[in-house]
């Protein structure tokens, strides 16, 4: 028996990959939740879409409520697919059941089959019960810290949640990537990744004036554009630090059972960046291909190292565009801004330079974080 803990996009993908490759294996997904209710919109890279079972175009969201260039600086708007978590889960659930994957609604810690399984793969997120209880992993905090911003809006009567197929207007060049979804109380929650400078600006601004901070204003305007929220009240604006962690070890053998961590159970990545689900599905596919290989422990660690180093290479190539900004003329700065989908019309050269420097600082921060990941995996 092979147990998958967690029925998120990564867990469902992992079960699908394993059952397709090893149809005679008894694959079981353990999930304590009764329904798929997460409304966040994910950005899926084309190579990941190719790994998954065919997803109908009706499941995808367009235009996406997340700026592609901010999440993936190398990608164009046409390369990425946008889909809500619940739509992706529903599609994968249907495909898994069609090929014989068993579903059990139960807390993984109460499931008595864990110690009898050949493999247990933890796809159950950052606070993974498998990682904490069975592997007793160390959460190593990286030296670099990410920053996030929460804006909670109360919509007026005129609203349409996630009806993004026919927005009233289309605005390109948003400066910040954001995730948006409805809370259980009916409010509208926007999560934004921000720079250290914006974090300091928000915390230094009086509560009555924080909505005038450019990043906050842009997020609210984006929500109105993509979600049709003409009238809304700002309830909460809060900037906070996001500690980035990596789990160690990635696997453990207990008696006859081998445990593996996958997806967010490995890396506590910046949850606004949109990178976690793509990396997690790739990791699940790699595990499924090599599950019975005697060298999988070493191969899996090496795979994660290569995944991170590929991201490093991409970001380092982008950094070249942002070198010596202070020596470049207005026309050159505008070309850089246009290439990286940064709004530049109607602002001064000084402000444009500041915005490009902030973008550069964010990329440098990401490079430093990925380097720390590689160093920990090499330990």
Question: Is the model's pLDDT at 12 over the cut of 90?
Answer: yes
User: What Rg value do the Cα atoms of the chain yield, rounded?
Assistant: 22
Boundaries of every domain in the chain? 2-137+249-292, 146-243, 317-377
- Fold classification of 2-137+249-292 is FAD/NAD(P)-binding domain (3.50.50)
Condensed to tens digits (0 to 9), the pLDDT of residues 98-157 reads 999 999 999 999 998 898 899 999 999 888 899 888 888 887 766 566 777 888 887 765
Residue 35 to residue 252: CA distance in whole angstroms: 30
3-class DSSP assignment, residue 173: coil
Query: Is the per-residue pLDDT at 28 higher than 90?
Result: yes
**Model pTM above 0.95:** no
Tens digit of each residue's pLDDT (9 = 90 or more) over 30-41:
999 888 877 666
CATH number of 146-243, picked from 3.40.50, 2.50.20, 3.30.9, 3.40.1350 = 3.30.9
Distance, in Å, from the CA atom of 265 to the CA atom of 177, rounded to the nearest integer, reads 23
User: CB-based contacts of 160: which residues, under 8 Å, 6+ apart?
Assistant: 227, 228
């Amino acid at each position: 028996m092979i147990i998958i803990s967690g029925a998120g996009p990564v867990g469902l993908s992992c079960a699908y990959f394993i059952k397709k490759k090893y149809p005679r294996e008894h694959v079981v997904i353990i999930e304590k939740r009764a329904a798929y209710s997460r409304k966040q919109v994910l950005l899926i890279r084309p190579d990941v879409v190719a790994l998954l079972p065919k997803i109908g175009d009706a499941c995808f969201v367009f235009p996406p409520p997340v700026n592609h260039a901010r999440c993936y600086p190398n990608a164009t708007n046409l390369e990425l697919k946008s889909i809500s978590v619940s739509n992706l889960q529903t599609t994968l659930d249907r495909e898994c059941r069609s090929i014989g994957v068993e579903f059990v609604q139960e807390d993984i810690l109460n499931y008595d089959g864990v110690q009898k399984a050949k493999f247990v793969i933890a796809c159950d997120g950052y606070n993974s019960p498998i990682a904490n209880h069975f592997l007793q992993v160390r959460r190593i905090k990286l030296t670099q810290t990410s920053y996030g911003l929460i804006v909670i809006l109360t919509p007026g009567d005129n609203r349409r949640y996630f009806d993004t197929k026919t927005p009233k207007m289309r605005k390109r060049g948003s400066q910040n990537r954001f995730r948006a979804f409805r809370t259980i109380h009916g409010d509208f929650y926007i999560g934004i990744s921000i720079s250290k400078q914006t974090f300091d600006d928000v915390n230094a601004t009086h509560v009555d004036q924080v909505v005038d901070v450019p990043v906050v204003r842009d997020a609210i305007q984006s929500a109105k554009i993509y979600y049709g929220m003409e009238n809304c009240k700002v309830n909460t604006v809060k900037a906070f630090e996001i500690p980035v962690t990596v789990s160690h070890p990635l696997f453990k053998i207990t008696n006859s059972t081998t445990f593996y961590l996958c997806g967010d159970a490995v890396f506590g990545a910046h949850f606004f960046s949109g990178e976690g689900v793509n990396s997690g599905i790739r990791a699940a596919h790699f595990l499924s291909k090599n599950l019975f290989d005697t060298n999988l422990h070493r191969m899996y660690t090496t795979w994660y190292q290569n995944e991170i180093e590929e991201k490093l290479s991409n970001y380092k190539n982008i950094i070249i565009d942002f070198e010596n900004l202070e020596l470049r003329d207005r026309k050159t700065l505008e070309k850089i801004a246009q290439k990286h989908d940064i709004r530049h019309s109607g602002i001064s050269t000084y402000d444009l330079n500041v915005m490009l420097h902030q973008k550069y600082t964010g990329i440098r921060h990401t490079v430093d974080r990925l380097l720390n990941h590689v160093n920990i995996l090499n330990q």
